[in-house]
Chains A and B, each alone.
Chain A
Amino acid sequence: DAKTTQPNSMESNEEEPVHLPCNHSTISGTDYIHWYRQLPSQGPEYVIHGLTSNVNNRMASLAIAEDRKSSTLILHRATLRDAAVYYCILRDGGKLIFGQGTELSVKP
């Protein structure tokens, strides 16, 4: 599986938008971009995924660069419950290979 690069940590203020970047310069044409998050003491939770086009769901939006070498997870209004480690993962086939992720802290 191709590798991703994410900042180790980010901070946000409550009720403000958060943009979590991910670089994946070696992405292949068949790799899907998946985002998962892990709240403290819980199992990872699916957030969103996409292939080429931007995607929206009830949790977040995923903006994918035209060349697909980077993507951004957008939380439109951060809440305290969004504090978690966010993993950007390239998936080609059945496996998820987790990188180190971005630890997001949200300040009230």
Chain B
Amino acid sequence: DTGVSQNPRHKITKRGQNVTFRCDPISEHNRLYWYRQTLGQGPEFLTYFQNEAQLEKSRLLSDRFSAERPKGSFSTLEIQRTEQGDSAMYLCASSLTGASRGEQFFGPGTRLTVL
């Protein structure tokens, strides 16, 4: 399977703990995006990378959130001191600059539950 993969698929944690998610994009894609989807809502943009450079961060991304893409391939999203309001589906997507006018390919998501 050469699509976008995310790990873990599910994560249950206690409030105050740190969690880290991983995303592996489609191999030739230079852009990687993180979105968050809460119940009954559409996904909301969090941040994105072009190669290893983080180009934009949403206001939704508080100081407790950090994302990296150190070698321009996979990316990690870390949430420190988790809160119950962080419970959501975290989606990763990738794309190729200039191809298909913005089409992004999504992974299956990591569902986070903070108790």
Q: Do A and B come from one complex?
A: no
